[in-house]
Amino acid sequence: MQVLALRRWSTLDDAERRRILARSNERVFDPGLRASIQAIYDDVAARGDVAVSEATARFDKADIPPERLRVTADELAAAHASIDADLLAAIREAIANVRAFSEAQLAATAEGWRAEIRPGVVVGEKFSPIPSAGLFVPCGKASYPSVLVQIGTPAVTAGVPDIAVVVPPVPGTSDVDVATLATAHELGLTRVYRANGPAGIAAIALGTETIGRVRKVVGPGSPAVTMAQIIAQAYGVLTSMISGPSESVVVADGSADPKRVALDLLNEAEHGEDSAALLLTDSLPLAEAVDTELTWMVALLPEARAKAAHSALGTWGGAFVFGSMAEALDFANTYAVEHIQLATADPEATLGGLRYAGEALLGQHTTISETNFVIGVPATLPTGGFAQVTGGVTARTFTVPIAISKLDEAALAELAAPTLRLADHEGFPAHANALRLRGLG
């Protein structure tokens, strides 16, 4: 049974090309979804904690009264004490690597920078942690402590003084995933809330009796969660990106091992039926060999994961055969994928032609699974083509720059004439007087 839809890009019509490039993004921007999430915001604004509790009961089938929305310190400590030792060790390894990446990134601008761009004109920047952040950690299809590792560690390392975590309860219960709570405890995060995703995000965007407001919210989730983050911006809360359905690309030439290509394609393909996994190659024999490998690999998966893989590799993705690897890279830059693996004879050379992707994995020893969990690079990444304009959640996500400038007396005089010309043209007399009444111009 064929798993990998096989297409030659040159033979596809414009409608099919647009469909592949669009992925399943229409679910995120559905007008009906926007209206329903806005209604949750309106309810939370009007009724606060009670609205959050009722939304959690309605959507998550969990009875959590307002007084239990916040996870207690005792619950965090108990979760940390009860977690499997091997799992805790893995979480600590992941935190250590993400922290190392974050510290290296922050070190590049720890003292800010300054430059004299012309005599007497000094400019620069300094960076400060943002005052507060909200982290959304999903819990539905599975438990995701790795998400909190990936977005919580950079926030802590950046020095954000106020961090809130929103985690939906385990479906059908009022409990929060123990591994996620243990991760929060490991990171020293104490402001943790169990709440429905969209309602919890509305709460940290608006503020309620129990849940304090934040200025920025990040974290992957369902289309409803993504829409809740989009709407948060209307209330003065920034979100860093659109985190939609998972997606990956493997760029491979004839030198690639088809078994490893298949393994790495399945990595993101198993996430959900709205995910997309694409093989870009100039080798038809490779594509056919990869499909042969996928046939038996998919058979090893549980039914739900296998169904997701068939959709990701058939409906939304597949193998796309190009006339050359240069054409394949051109497509990759247009697609601007979340994860891209360069499985070519010379990955470094291939990287030179790559401009847009959430992350790039060089060679077949670098797996998406390890980058998702423990390597330390960001794993909460832009989807839906937004990698053309933004990157993943890192420590830099949780800092803000202040632009700095300084003129000496000679530079002040030298720049007076063009400043006055622009101020007069745009009709700002006080701007002009700031110089003329100093005796300049």
pLDDT (tens digit per residue) in 299-322: 999 999 999 999 999 999 999 999
For the record, the structure tokens of 208 come out as 């309620």
Buried b (16+ CB within 10 A) or exposed e, 38-59: bebbebbbeebbebbbbbbeeb
The per-residue b/e assignment along 113-144, b for 16 or more CB within 10 angstroms, e otherwise, is: eeeeeeebbeebebbebbebbbbbbbbeeebb
> Quick check: is 98 in a domain?
yes
User: Is the pLDDT confidence value at 280 over 80?
Assistant: yes
| Whether residues 18 and 105 fall in one domain | no
How many Å apart are CA 281 and CA 259, to the nearest integer? Answer: 15
pLDDT tens digits, one per residue of 128-161 = 999 999 999 998 767 899 999 999 999 999 999 9
pLDDT tens profile 324-342: 999 999 999 999 999 999 9
Reference 358, options 332, 387, 396, 401; nearest CA is 387
Tell me, yes or no, whether 217 and 252 share the same domain.
no
Give the CATH number for residue 57. 3.40.50.1980
pLDDT, tens digit (0-9, with 9 covering 90-100), for 68-127: 999 999 999 999 999 999 999 999 999 999 999 999 999 988 889 999 999 999 999 999
The CA distance from 229 to 268, in Å, is 23
Of 375, 393, 422, the last residue of a domain is 375
For the annotated catalytic residues, the residue numbers are: 338-339
Average pLDDT, the chain: 95
If you ran DSSP here, which 8-state letter would residue 72 be given? P
Q: For a pLDDT cut of 70, what percent of the chain falls above it?
A: 100
| pLDDT bracket for residue 240 (50, 70, 90) | confident
**Domain hosting residue 213, numbered range:** 31-239
Q: Band of the pLDDT at 173, cuts 50, 70, 90? A: confident
Report how far residue 328's alpha carbon sits from residue 269's, in angstroms, rounded to the nearest whole number. Answer: 20
pLDDT at position 95, please?
Answer: 97
**One domain for residues 285 and 163:** no
pLDDT at residue 441 is higher than 70: yes
Task: Give me the pLDDT at residue 26, please.
Answer: 75
Q: How confident is the model at residue 1 (pLDDT cuts 50, 70, 90)?
A: low
Give 126's strand partners.
402
Q: How many domains does the chain have?
A: 3
Percent of the chain with pLDDT over 90: 91
> Sign of the CA dihedral 402, 408, 410, 412?
positive
394 falls within a domain: no
